[in-house]
Amino acid sequence: MASPSPKSPEQSEKTKQYDRQLRLWGDHGQTALEHGHICLINANALGTEILKSIVLPGVGAITIVDDKIVSDEDIGSNFFLECSSKSLNRGAEALRLLLELNPAVRGHAVQEPPDQILKENPEFFKSFSVVIATALGEKTIQELAQHLWDINVPLILCRSVGFLGSFRIQMREHAVIETHPDNEQTDLRLDVPFQALSDYLNCFDIDAVDLKDHGHIPWIVIIYKAVQKWQSQNANGWPMSRKEKNEIKNIILEFVRKDENDVPISEENFEEAIRAVNTALVPTFLPVKIQELLYCTSATNLSKDSAPFWVMCAALRGFVEGEGKGKLPVKGVLPDMTASTDHYIKLQNLYRTQAAMDAEIVYRKVLQIVAQLHCENISEADVKLFCRHAHDLYLLCGSNIVTEYQLNSSVATFISRHLEEPDVMMVHYIMLRAAEMFQSEHCRAPGDWDPEGDISKLKACVTKVLSDVSCSPFPKDDHIHEMCRYGGAEIHSVSAFLGGCTAQEAIKLITKQYKPVNNTFIFDAASTNSATFAF
């Protein structure tokens, strides 16, 4: 019996353990994650649920800041505390049980209140990739947010109260090269074929090939030929309207071979061609969002400290204005289509070669900029990746939580517009803010032990928030009643839901892949509805 080759070197213990997630963010995403260091402030159930889904996939390190002592209520809602944790430091206990999940993760517990760290050792926060904070008071939130804004460390602020929860991401800006769009646009350039492509397409003669090969012609060729035929009757225009696209489809139908009884022979590639007409004929253009990106100040005013992303944007702008003739580099990706291996691979290689040539030009421009400005070196592989995803680059410009908390005029207008709609998810936001205000005024959650008695006090807070955004009080008190019913309770399953979502946001920030929430997520587990607001 054959005894084939030894175990593949590709499969280390670690790649096996992380296999299912490596298929989502790749080895480079994993490496980035393993260099990440997350700081959590307050290890309540929400906090530990977030860390759980960051520790499991293998973040580099976690630091928990928590000066509280474990209570019975904590044990009842937090999986990462046990009965013997009672009366011990909450952060240290949670850390111990969280680290059991993954021996590769390092951890630290700091038993000081965050206010004190902010006052005495603000440098502490500098080294973190992301700071995540739960269950903070209004005052600390603003001090922490301002400090992290100043030192440019991302902050995710989370809350879980009864059936309600939210998180808010604060960061100055966040650039994503690999956004992983669900439906990526193809980039075939049939309207502006590069030389090698037009040479190839032009030497094809659909009518000359025998029947077997006829069924193996890639639909790209079929559509191109149909357009050429159409153009000869339409002053070399480009089919744009539905009517014109239907004319193309009819030309394709004419291409289909007929049997001896003049019945069209069913050929898969021609059917694919007809289905592909609408998307394949979208003209090649520079997406507006990418254009804005290439001409924004960060990309036009480079300095020695410019991030690689902006250096590459500047080089890309040079390409678009020069060699690219207004277009982005070719993606170099060919969707699968019915075709013979030969035709398909030839065509695929044409696109790949052009993509490599385009990327090479961008890379040379990057080298020039780096040499001129003495900025950080950028590898050729990084530039290739950047060019491959140039159509889908994404930049998120953040806002400061402090301006949101101070409800300045633009924030107020934004809120009141949603309240007028009326958008019940914005009502939830107001309730969360009002409950926070109540907490700082009365040193307890609304309804903590007297739900009926706190209704009027909470109502006063709601009215205050609403008047700050120039809105009249809510016509009904039902949301106020519900918030007092919650009495500040942390419900495990609500925290677990938010924990999962928040953890992934932190991973997105660290790996710089996939688009994060911009910038506030509100969840109502009572109705199972959510909303995203950009404050």
Partner 1 sequence: MASGETHSVENQQRRWLNLRKLLERSGPFSHPDFEPSAEILDFIMDSCKVLIVGAGGLGCELLKDLALMGFKKLHVVDMDTIELSNLNRQFLFRKNDIGLSKAKCAVEFVNKRVPGCEAVAHHCSIQDLDEGFYRQFHIVVCGLDSIVARRWLNGMLMSLLQYNDDRSLDQSSVIPFVDGGTEGFKGNARVILPGMSACIECTLDLYPPQKTFPLCTIANTPRLPEHCIEYVKVLQWAKENPWGSSTPIDGDDPQHVTWVFEKAQDRAIKHGISNVTYRLTQGVLKNIIPAVASTNAAIAACCATEVFKLASSCCTNMNNYMVMNIADGVYTYTFNAERKPDCVACSNTTRVVELEPDATLQTIYDKLCEDPAFMMKSPGITTVINGRNKTLYMSSIKSIEERTRDNFKKENNRIGFIQWR
Residues in region 145-174 near partner 1 by CB under 8 A: 162-163
Stretch that binds partner 1, among 271-279, 290-298, 300-308, 488-496 (CB under 8 A): 488-496
Q: Give the contacts of 506 (CB within 8 A, at least 6 positions apart).
A: 36, 38, 50, 54, 130, 132, 156
Beta bridge partners of 38: 62, 130
Q: Where are the alpha helices (DSSP H) in 443-477?
A: 451-468
CB of 358 to partner 1, least distance (A): 19
CB of 55 to partner 1, least distance (A): 9
Query: Using CA of residue 31, residue 35, residue 36, residue 39, what is the dihedral sign?
Result: positive
Q: Please, which of residues 226-265 interact with partner 1 by CB under 8 A?
A: none
Q: Please, which of residues 77-116 interact with partner 1 by CB under 8 A?
A: 77-79, 82-84, 100-102
Q: Where are the alpha helices (DSSP H) in 58-190?
A: 72-77, 90-99, 114-120, 138-151
Q: Give the contacts of 42 (CB within 8 A, at least 6 positions apart).
A: 65, 66, 68, 133, 134, 135, 136
Q: Say whether residue 525 binds partner 1 (CB under 8 A).
A: yes
403: left (phi over 0), alpha (psi -120 to 50) or beta: alpha
CB of 241 to partner 1, least distance (A): 31
Query: Residue 113: how many CB atoms within 10 A of its CB?
Result: 16
Binding mask 502-521 for partner 1 (x = CB under 8 A): -xxx-x------xxxxx--x
Q: Say whether residue 216 binds partner 1 (CB under 8 A).
A: yes
Binding residue for partner 1, selected from 87, 232, 241, 528, defined by CB under 8 A: 528
CB of 357 to partner 1, least distance (A): 17
Classified as helix, coil or strand, 303 is coil
Tokens of 285: 């253009």
Which of residues 317 and 512 has its CB atom nearest to partner 1 in the complex?
512
Nearest to 366 by CA among 293, 414, 308: 308
Q: Please, which of residues 180-199 interact with partner 1 by CB under 8 A?
A: 180-182
Q: Say whether residue 500 binds partner 1 (CB under 8 A).
A: yes
Q: Whole-angstrom distance between the N-terminal and C-terminal Cα of the chain?
A: 67
For residue 280, what is the enclosing H or E element?
A: helix 268-280
CB of 271 to partner 1, least distance (A): 13
Q: Say whether residue 421 binds partner 1 (CB under 8 A).
A: no
Which of residues 239 and 499 has its CB atom nearest to partner 1 in the complex?
499
Nearest to 200 by CA among 325, 388, 359, 334: 334
Which of residues 7 and 258 has its CB atom nearest to partner 1 in the complex?
7
CB of 523 to partner 1, least distance (A): 8
Which of residues 49 and 143 has its CB atom nearest to partner 1 in the complex?
49
Q: Please, which of residues 1-40 interact with partner 1 by CB under 8 A?
A: 1-2, 4-8, 10-11, 13, 15-24
Q: Please, which of residues 334-373 interact with partner 1 by CB under 8 A?
A: 336-341, 344-345, 348-349
Q: How far is CA 222 from the centre of its chain?
A: 37
Q: Please, which of residues 434-463 interact with partner 1 by CB under 8 A?
A: 447, 451
Q: Please, which of residues 255-314 interact with partner 1 by CB under 8 A?
A: none
CB of 213 to partner 1, least distance (A): 11
